[in-house]
Amino acid sequence: MDEMFLLNNVWVIVAFILVLLMQGGFILLEAGSTRMKNAGHIAGKTIFTVGIASLVFWAVGYGFIYGEGNAFIGMSDFFYGDFTSAVDGLAGSVDFIFQLAFAAIALTIAFGGFAERAKLSVYIIFAVAFSAFIYPVVAHWIWGGGWLAGLGKQDFAGSTVVHLTGAMAALAATIILKPRIGKFNEDGTSNDIAGHNQVYTALGVLILWVGWFGFNGGSTLGVDGAFFGYVALTTQLAAAAGAVAAMVIVSAVTGKNDIPTMLNGALAGLVAITASTAFVAPWAAVIIGIVAGFIVHFSMVFFEKSKIDDPIFALSVHGVAGIWGTLSTGFFATPALSEMNGGQPGLFYGGGFAQLGVQFTGVAVSALYAFTVAFIILKVLEKVLGGLRVSEEEELIGLDMSEHGSYGYPENMPEKKYDSKQPGA
């Protein structure tokens, strides 16, 4: 076997493992950012999400993205099981499992809009629908040879495909589910429903940060020329700049060095550089990260004032930063890197508004499609299931107990009164 072929495949499998481990980062990030009474539910739901996303992606998702079809959708390679084909210099199965991990990440982002109030049955049905009819369509348009790919849309590792698509589904869920009990007062003011463990949240961000080197670096699909090292460099710079910028702006505006905002700044920098990491110079990666860190703070404030309850800030981190990251390649893409990776140079390198226009079009149609289809699916589920949300009593006692019958932290929750007459007491 050709050594380079083998090395490329080994690298992409390592990248797949890194991306899969990002789910562990999401578990800690989401559990730490929400209340203790929902921690077990969030952790278990995330693993369950990976299970459903994997099965649906195997059955139809991969075929809808990469199968033979038209500019809108692929229509072959369902129930994938080919061990003989090669795709982009990789064994077909290696390419398949790497792409599968991205689909699972997009679904996990979408579920951020459901946090602390949705029925488990809604999670299950929506997971199937999102993995079959929302994510694969956008991915086909941009990565599967669809109509946006034909226009030259640049999205190296998924600022639009993964992050914006997931965030728009989260926005639809957040609007329909309405705010958590106690989030907003009758006079329109809001209450801070703080997460229960900032250490969990910070560790979750660090795991995601490490996983991003598989997310972006693995998207080079090989080791030839060691270009993955350059991608890692721009990824690191953007994340660092996002964290610092977010801390500076929140401190200047509020007088407090808010930890959740700083953590969201790091994630916003990572999300923003995901589309442009292979197209921009290191100085531009720093600018992209700084802008992401700034806008994530103002975006969080905007959604709060708009009475949109976003418990884990998925809309700001993955949606707003995803839009900025996608547009940034239209500003900063260099001629050399654009020629190397496909596409056209950005506005600041003499490319005019052509590439920026393509990027804007891609953002607009992808966001509109993901939001509209998610909204319709959730409205149908609302009718069929008699509502998307648990009862007020169930929300107050927490989803750990109401949906699963046990707490994630049983020793820290109220105990039942001892009853000597109960069997086994």
Phi and psi at residue 376, to the nearest 5°:
-65, -45
Q: DSSP string of 258-287?
A: -HHHHHHHHHHHHHHHHHHTTTS-HHHHHH
Q: Which residues of 363-389 are buried (b: 16+ CB within 10 A; e: fewer)?
A: bebbbebbbebbbebbeebeeeeeebb
Segment 179-207 mean pLDDT: 93
Segment 279-305 mean pLDDT: 97
pLDDT at 75 exceeding the cut of 60: yes
Q: How far apart are CA 137 and CA 369, in angstroms?
A: 9
pLDDT at 422 exceeding the cut of 80: no
pLDDT for position 85: 81
pLDDT at 1 exceeding the cut of 80: no
pLDDT tens-digit map of 132-161:
999 999 999 999 999 999 999 999 999 999
pLDDT tens-digit map of 213-246:
999 999 999 998 999 999 999 999 999 999 999 9
Segment 403-417 mean pLDDT: 77
Query: Domain ranges in the chain?
Result: 3-404
pLDDT at 89 exceeding the cut of 90: no
Which is it for the CA torsion 286, 289, 293, 298, positive or negative? positive
User: Please, what is the average pLDDT of the chain?
Assistant: 94
pLDDT for position 406: 87
Question: What's domain 3-404's architecture?
Answer: Orthogonal Bundle (1.10)
Residue 306 exposed, middle or buried by CB count within 10 Å (0-12, 13-18, 19+): exposed
Q: How far apart are CA 27 and CA 412, in angstroms?
A: 19
